[in-house]
Chains A and B, each alone.
Chain A
Amino acid sequence: MPEVDLAIIGAGPAGMAAAAAAAGGGARVLILDEQPRAGGQIYRNLGAGDDARAYLGPDYFAGRALIAALDGAGIRAEFGATVWRVEPGGRVVWSQGGKSHMATARHVLLAGGAQERPTPFPGWTLPGVMPAGAAQILMKTSGLLPRDAVLAGCGPLLYLIAAQLIEAGAPPRALVETQTPAAMLGAMRHLPGAFAAFPMLFKGVRLIARIVAAGVARHTGASGFNASPTGDGGIVFSFRTGRRAHQLQTPLLLTHQGVVPSTHISRAAGVAHEWNAAQQAFQPKTDDWGATDVNGIHVAGDGAGIGGAEAAQAAGRLAAFDILYRLGRWSADARNQRAAADRAALRRAWAIRPFLDCAYAPAPEILAPEGDTIVCRCEEITAAQIRQSYAEGAIGPRQVKTATRAGMGHCQGRMCDLTTRGILASCGAAPAAPRARSPIKPVTLGELAALAAHQETSS
């Protein structure tokens, strides 16, 4: 007998919106998140009630209502809960406080969100090089402000963080962007389609104007990223624009090349995935409601393809409506009628993606690096080693893993899988289906043994 109607994994915009909608329809909901409180990365730490950080902007504080709604009836929320296994049939296993726990649900919604795309270049493993989103997490959770930072890479998040730093009185030293004028020009053909997302476009233009007005040095069309350490722990960041070589010194180099769906959990659950060429990432195959090919498993939010927080909320609610229908609580008509507003919101939010995906496509040198650039951070495997293993007959990511150990470390390939595939593709290898197996996060043998002992005594 399932203990809950719906288990939601991830308490970001998609998961929180789904929890409120499902509980509102009378479902018993369990929502699990790895972090200490709800919000996901976008609304990280917002629930802590710290109003002193107005510089984070109104979009951040807009998450309040979603977080408050988790206190509603019918929702059990567990935080600090790392889900490491989801089984077809609805059993969910998570680690919390050094112990593993299980629950069975009639439906499971995966709402694990996104991670930043790994940005390999020479020196990206040095202390003093971080993803820009990681620095923003530190701004949200701890009030830490990057000191004289250089922002480098591409994507709207760089503009937002630069503007937040300016607002907070700690402007970045420079903004170095990899997108080329040609890419921007190519993206213009998507602008008419993006008209429905005009407020979002306008926000972006205002952010850029703010950065320019603050006098932050800006370079575009940059390539040839390289970071090396100075004697006092700083970073020397070199890059080229056209034929011109540049060098900047900074305590903190913050990189970004967009975000990609976190798919380890959907892969390990046996869900079919597809390659999204526009976003250069894998995503689970879902229907209009977020349902997958595995009975009882839905996926919503950025984990099903990058669409941003507003799209994630709408998709989370649509999945909840479909689950209420499948639970027999709602008729198909009721589901379809309730869905109209969120379908419209989803269309509006998606309208800007073709433009963004094209204008801020990841830099080719990041997708398929060469030489001594480390690809697998855990096992310290370089691009040259991966290319060498391909030359010696490792034709896919699994063979490369066996040959080099790339992808065999603690992070289970989260930081290298896309890059390994990018390198193999650049060598002419055929694409291979993505895989993952539980436990999808490291669990101690002691924890597994305790879980098995508990099962034996209770069965």
Chain B
Amino acid sequence: MEKVKIYSRFERFWHWTQMALILLLMITGFEIHSTFEAFGFETSVRLHSAAGWAFLILTIFAIFWMLVTGQSKQFVPVRNNVKQQAMYYMVGIFKKAPHPVKKTVDSKLNPLQRIIYFGLIILVFPVQLITGFLYLFFHYPDKPFALEGLEAVAVLHTLGAFLLVAFVIAHLYLITTGHTVTSNLQAMITGYEELEEEEKEV
């Protein structure tokens, strides 16, 4: 076992800022949806809009970072070991079986994570951002272009929000399934995680 740096400073900043913004967006968003009362409707609207802008800016930085560092490869789904990973969560984890796919610096995400995160990055985030900003800038049937009201935009945005909430809940639980219960959490805070030694590529 060796302590390896797997999350760079930007990745950690990105992650925790995203967490904070998504949490804020979730609370304010569902207040706007009239699911519960939190800050008051008007405050929630203003917070939600500002957080949406912050999220957009963060996303632009993240895309820039991915392109520059090539880390986008981490999020590309792979065919191998998808089934094994699923079997691990359903069976292996109860038998103290080893993780089927080794976590390495070059491949931090397991095959299931890759699929889920890829889905978030390619589908859910863009849909939330696009519908969110349509919500902000498109208001009435003919401004700036003809659309039959907010309904389609709003319903799509709500759908994305539910998916994100479900993801966050599952994510909070699944981070406890690392080497130890807190190793994943520690890694995302400190950047370092104890990984099994790997063959050093030369």
Q: A and B: partners?
A: no
